[in-house]
Structure formats: C-alpha cells, structure tokens
Amino acid sequence: MATSSCIDLEQVTAVVEWQWEGATRLLAAPDPENVAIRFTLQLEPTERDNQHRAHFEVVIPIRFKDKPAGAAVYIRINPASITSFNFTTPTDAPDVVKQLFDTITCLDFQLNDAITLIVPSGVKEPIAASRARSGRILDSLYELTQVTALRVYIQDSQLSSDDLQAISNRIEQHQLEPFSGPDYDISRMFSGEGGKVTTLAPLKPPSYEKATSLQPPHAPSRGRKRPRTDTHEGPVDLTQIWDKLNKLESIVREVQELRADNAKLRDLKQRPLTEHAQQEDLSQVVLKLRAENAQLRDQVTLLEKRHEDLEAHVASLQTAQVSQDDADEAASIELREDITVLGHRVDFIEGYRDDDLITRIKDEVFDEIAKRIIGG
C-alpha cells in the first residue's frame, strides 16, 4: 500500500465540502446517483533531493446536454497552489458523510489559486447540463472554482497518519510539483477522446440561500380595492422550483420531438418525385445485378469445362503410369531370370574338379614344350 515517501490512493469514494456565502456546501451525490464521487492522491519522490511529485484529483460523474451518458468532470488541484494541508478525524461530520463512511478522515486544503475543471473535449461551450440534477452539480462546481479552501472526506482506513503527515510536511516545505507524462496528459483522458480545461458561467438560477430569502411578491393595490394577502407567507420552496423546471424541460423536449415529427411528415409529402427517382435507380441496380449474374453463370460454365479437361488429363496420366509400371515389372522379371542363370553357372564352375583341370593344363604345357624342342 502506501508508505511515507510513496503514496498511491486511486479513485476512492469521497465527499467534497466548501463554504459559500456563509453556508456550508456539500457535493456527495453525482449524476447518476448509483456511482460515487472519486478522489485520487498520488505522491512519489523525484531524482532531486527532497522534491516530490504529487497529484490531487476529484472525479464527479455528470450528464452534459450534448453528452447525456458516461461523462464526468475532473477537478485537479495544482500541488504548487496548496499553501496548507491539514487532516483530522472528525466526530461531528455531516450526516450524508456518516452514511457513506464508518470512520472518517477529513482533508483540508488551503489554496492560493483556483482549482482546474476538465471536461471531455467534445462537450460544447458554454457547458450545459442535460437535466436538473446535473445542473445543480454545475452550480456547485462554479462555487468551487470561486473558493480557495475546500475539504475532502474519505474513509479513515485509506491513509495512515504517517502518510498524511508526510503530505503535510512536503506541502509546508514547498517540496511538491505536478506529475508529468502521458498518464497525466489531458489530451489522452476520457478513453482517448481527450479533455479540455473549462470555466463555468455564474449561477443560474440563484443559490438555495438566496432563493429561500426571497418573499413572495404582492400585487399592487388598485384604487379602493384592498390588496389581497397571501394565506401562506414564508420562504420559497426550491424543490418546487426545480420540479417546475423539470416539467418545463420535459415540455420543451416534447415540443421539439413534435416539431421533428412534423418536419418528417412534410418531407414525406414532398417525396413522390424523389421516390419515383429512387425506384428508377433501383431498376437500374436490378438490371446491373442481372448482368453480373449472367457473367457469373458463364464463368461457372467455363470453370466446369476446365474441370472436365483436368479430369481427362489426370485419367490419361494414370493410364500411362499403369503402362510404365507393367513395363518395369517385366524388366524386373527378366532381370531376376538372368541372375538365376548366372547363379547356376557360378555354381557349375565352383563345382568342377580341380585335379582334372591341373592335368589338362600340364598336358597342354608339355605338348607346347615338345613342339618347340622339336622345332628347335
């Protein structure tokens, strides 16, 4: 796991907290809610003495208007911008944090520069959400870009006290610098799609505190009529406002769908000539296909003829081979007969009596000597 000099805490569940206009704000539920907000903290030494690389990042799932699924916003904190880092184990954490973690570690960051927001490069500017829940997340992210202090809650078992103290010491001694390399290149983020740094527009609608401080308007008095007094006076219910906004968004989408359907119907009414031309095009395609089919049949016939010729050639070769085998067999038989005859002759020679042969040679030699003496 982690050590005091090298820490690798990757994508653990987290909750982000900050202060906005005198109120405590929390970001604990992304969009969709069935996934979690994730926090990454990495630290490792460099080749230079006492210098370390660090990476602080929060991932918040969200649904953009032009990317309604599988998207997220990345919050990156520049290590060089962290002026102080403190850690505690609070017992009075917000209820939403207690519901997520059994034991809690609180990481307090004090910054001298704003955080960086990274979104997929394909998301259009200005950034817009696809539904109200994601819209509230964008509002929270805008607030985070305007503050210089934030708090991150994580499970207490994720980091040891030594790890946390090592981080605090490195920050206090200004010994941190950002990571570099392809793993931290935003052009390779989002599964290779690439990311871009973005800024968010100011809050619309107003924040919750502003909305709850507003009083319902009263109609001005007219003549002698007594102004009507509302039966219920109190703060505006922001939930009702968001419900109305959701209904309005649904109505707008339905109207857009109806307009699209009407446009399709108008196109269908204007299509007779186009469809006739398409039918003519289809007729031409059918004729071409028929011609290609005829060519294919001719090629098949030619291939079948070549196949028959090859079969005849193979049959003739087989016949010639049989004839050659017969001739070889006859020659072999004749050769075996010659060997047998020669064998008999050798046996005869070897069996002839040697004494008779010597006597004949002596007689012939004596006769030859006598002839020469007489002929003197």
What HEC string does 229-279 produce?
CCCCCCCCCHHHHHHHHHHHHHHHHHHHHHHHHHHHHHHHHCCHHHHHHHH
- The CB density around residue 185, as the number of other CB atoms within 10 Å, is 11
Domain, as residue range, for 42:
7-211
Is there a single domain that holds both residue 302 and residue 189?
no
pLDDT exceeds 50 at position 2: no
pLDDT at 277: 61
Write down the H helix ranges in the chain.
95-100, 132-146, 161-172, 208-213, 238-269, 272-351, 354-375
Closest by Cα among 138, 189, 150 to 31: 138
pLDDT digits (tens, 9 = 90+) for 284-321: 888 888 888 888 888 888 887 887 777 777 777 877 77
Average pLDDT, the chain: 82
pLDDT exceeds 60 at position 234: no
Looking at 160, 185, 211, the residue that finishes a domain is: 211
pLDDT exceeds 60 at position 250: yes
**Is 217 contained in some domain?**
no
Is there a single domain that holds both residue 169 and residue 292?
no
- The CB density around residue 275, as the number of other CB atoms within 10 Å, is 10
pLDDT at 105: 97
Looking at 157, 190, 211, the residue that finishes a domain is: 211
Distance CA 364, CA 376 (A): 18
Angle at Cα 92 formed by Cα 90 and Cα 97, nearest 5°?
Answer: 80
* 234 vs 145, higher pLDDT: 145
pLDDT exceeds 70 at position 235: no
**Is 176 contained in some domain?**
yes
**Do β-strands 116-120 and 52-64 pair in parallel, antiparallel, or remain unpaired?**
unpaired
Give me the long-range contacts of 211-217 (CB less than 8 A, separation at least 24): 211/235, 211/236, 211/238, 211/241, 212/236, 212/238
pTM for the full predicted model: 0.55
Q: What are phi and psi of 219, to 5 degrees?
A: -75, 140
pLDDT digits (tens, 9 = 90+) for 213-227: 544 444 444 444 444
Distance CA 7, CA 2 (A): 4
pLDDT at 275: 58
pLDDT exceeds 90 at position 334: no
- The CB density around residue 312, as the number of other CB atoms within 10 Å, is 9
Is there a single domain that holds both residue 13 and residue 100?
yes
Q: What is the CA radius of gyration of the chain?
A: 50
**Is 223 contained in some domain?**
no
**Is 373 contained in some domain?**
no
Torsion of CA 253, 259, 264, 268, to 10 degrees: 160
Is there a single domain that holds both residue 202 and residue 279?
no
| Mean pLDDT for the stretch of residues 259-278 | 67
**Is 236 contained in some domain?**
no
DSSP 226: P
Is there a single domain that holds both residue 188 and residue 284?
no
Is there a single domain that holds both residue 191 and residue 297?
no
Looking at 166, 181, 211, the residue that finishes a domain is: 211
Beta bridge pairs of residue 197? 118
Is there a single domain that holds both residue 175 and residue 293?
no
Q: What are phi and psi of 76, to 5 degrees?
A: -115, 135
Domain count, the chain: 2
pLDDT exceeds 50 at position 208: no
Is there a single domain that holds both residue 72 and residue 185?
yes
What residues contact 105, with CB distance under 8 A and at least 6 apart?
Answer: 87, 88, 89, 153, 154, 155, 156, 158, 159, 164
Query: What tokens were used for 24?
Result: 């405590």
**Is 355 contained in some domain?**
yes
pLDDT exceeds 70 at position 80: yes
Distance CA 263, CA 266 (A): 5
Q: Are 50 and 175 in contact (CB under 8 A)?
A: yes
pLDDT at 160: 94
Q: Are 160 and 109 in contact (CB under 8 A)?
A: no
pLDDT digits (tens, 9 = 90+) for 173-192: 999 999 988 889 999 999 89
Is there a single domain that holds both residue 193 and residue 320?
no
DSSP reduced 3-state for 46: coil
| Mean pLDDT for the stretch of residues 6-31 | 96
Distance CA 12, CA 31 (A): 17
pLDDT exceeds 70 at position 373: yes
pLDDT exceeds 70 at position 83: yes
Is there a single domain that holds both residue 284 and residue 187?
no
Is there a single domain that holds both residue 203 and residue 279?
no
pLDDT exceeds 90 at position 360: no
Is there a single domain that holds both residue 61 and residue 194?
yes
